[in-house]
Amino acid sequence: MSDIVTLTGIVGTEPRALTTQEGLAITSFRLASTQRRFDKSQEKWVDGETNWYSITTFRQLATNAAVSVKKGERILVTGRLRIREWESGGKAGTNIDIEAEALGHDLSWGTANFSRGAGATPVDTGSAQADTASAFPTDADLAANQAVPAAEASATEPELVTPF
């Protein structure tokens, strides 16, 4: 059984990116999630305990996460939950792993500037003759941090222009 969870928290380590010999991109990092509650007796917000999660991403999500996520940033993660017990050298513990299916910045705490990756698949506009090549920025556009002209952008996707 696969449990799907969504977490919010702060990236606790710099993401570590690697590519396997087979060409599979993997990026992993630790996520800290602390519950806050309002203590009426003290009339202030207090932190609860911090839960730590190991987040792992694969393929295109790993490639995007490696260049988009930094230590200290607030993010949301949705993925498959896996709990593993371990024992080593007389010590025992529990690892809580999340295999991420999606992640992004928590916009409750800031703004983002989204760029579609060069390998993205365009949205079907209903036209069999749609020119998909011009709908997305090229690698050169992304490298130069150039935006796609508004006439070429999809009408269903809002343009976010305020960077971190």
Q: pLDDT band for position 12 (50/70/90)?
A: very high
Query: Are 78 and 101 in contact, with CB atoms under 8 Å apart?
Result: yes
**Residue 95 to residues 23, 74, 86, 125: CA-CA distances in angstroms?**
27, 21, 7, 44
pLDDT for position 112: 85
Give, as one character, the DSSP assignment of residue 109: S
Contact 2, 66 (CB under 8 A): no
Domains of the chain: 3-110 (2.40.50.140), 111-119+128-164 (no CATH)
What is the number of other CB atoms lying within 10 angstroms of the CB of residue 108? 8
How far does CA 106 lie from the centroid of its chain?
9
Measured over the CA atoms of residue 45, residue 12, residue 61 and residue 93, the dihedral's sign is negative
pLDDT score at 80? 96
Q: What is the 3-state secondary structure (H, E, C) of 38-101?
A: EECCCCEEEEEEEEEEEEEEEHHHHHHHHHHCCCCCEEEEEEEEEEEEEEECCEEEEEEEEEEE
pLDDT on residue 130: 41
**For the segment 49-99, what is each residue's pLDDT rounded down to a tens digit?**
999 999 999 999 999 999 999 999 999 999 999 999 989 999 999 999 999
Q: What is the mean pLDDT of residues 105-118?
A: 85
Q: Is residue 159 scored above 60 in pLDDT?
A: no
Can you say whether the dihedral through the CA atoms of 149, 154, 160, 164 is positive or negative? negative
Q: What is the pLDDT of residue 120?
A: 54
Q: Are 84 and 98 in contact (CB under 8 A)?
A: no
- What are residue 133's phi and psi, to 5 degrees? -65, -35
